[in-house]
Amino acid sequence: MSDVSPSPALRRGLGDHIILAAVLVLSVAMVAPVLWVIGLSLKDNAELMANPNSVFHPPYIIDNYIAIIGTSAVFRWIVNSLIVSVGLTFGTLVLASLAGYGFARLEFPGRQVLFVIVLFGLAVPEQAVLVARHQIFSILQFHNTYQGIILPGLSNAFGVFLMTQYFRAIPKELDEAALLDNASRFKIFWKVLLPLTLPAQATLGIFTFLGSWNDYFWPLISATRKEMYTLTVGMASVQSNFAQSEGVGFLMAQAVFAGLPIFIVYLFFQKYIVTAVSGAAVR
């Protein structure tokens, strides 16, 4: 009697096909809203108001993009978001690297306790400290300033933890070799160890930049003047215009426009982002 069960190779082939189909379905599910947004952005506002399904057929126009360039505040919001995101990323990298080096390499009293306190920061939700922070920033007159939006994000417990672990993983023999090479503490940090943490810096930098770019909660509270809005806050403020006076097409064009910088970041740092995300998943 012949064996009718599929061979292992055939079963493996079948499995591959199922996975491929699942990936295809999920990809379509991910891409469809993006295409939908792009489609809407290329339609006339009045036409969309009359018939939302008009997105599926021409004419497609670029008037909404012309309007953005001509009139919208979205440029200002993008600049604000860039200043905040770049400032926050740079500040986080500097502080987390220095703190990580300190926790990993320097002997000082209370080091372990301090590190545990930093780790506790991971467990404290932003909402828990919001009122107190708002009060302090009011007294300091930090609201509606860049430092007001940037400063809270600099206390990045995850960043300190990540960099500490990374510095710890670098063999101490390198420090010792550098000590024998007459290097000062700072030189060892700057010339020997810091360059070796570039993969961790890239991971932390990308996460921080994306997190900051997409952050909505704190900028919404701190930036109350329209010219200090970050992109997320600005976009939301337009969206909550119930009369839709600026139109859905115009709103979607703003969304596409706002997504461009992050798209460019993805284009240039794709390799690092994939590594960072997969690394985070393994961790």
Per CB under 8 A, residues contacting another protein are 171, 173-174, 176-183, 187, 191-192, 195-196
> Which CB, 193 or 204, lies closer to another protein?
193
How near is the Cβ of 170 to another protein at its closest, in Å?
A: 9
**Which residues 6+ apart lie within 8 Å of 153 measured at CB?**
88, 91, 92, 208, 211, 212, 215, 218
> Which CB, 125 or 195, lies closer to another protein?
195
Torsion of CA 160, 164, 165, 166, to 10 degrees: 100
Closest CA to 235 of 195, 198, 197, 262: 262
How near is the Cβ of 207 to another protein at its closest, in Å?
A: 23
> Which CB, 56 or 186, lies closer to another protein?
186
Pull the structure tokens for residue 248.
């859905």
Closest CA to 212 of 165, 270, 156: 156
> Which CB, 17 or 187, lies closer to another protein?
187
How near is the Cβ of 160 to another protein at its closest, in Å?
A: 23
> Which CB, 98 or 196, lies closer to another protein?
196
Q: Provide Rg for the chain, Cα atoms.
A: 25
How near is the Cβ of 196 to another protein at its closest, in Å?
A: 6
How near is the Cβ of 212 to another protein at its closest, in Å?
A: 28
Q: Answer positive or negative: Cα dihedral of 274, 230, 217, 136.
A: positive
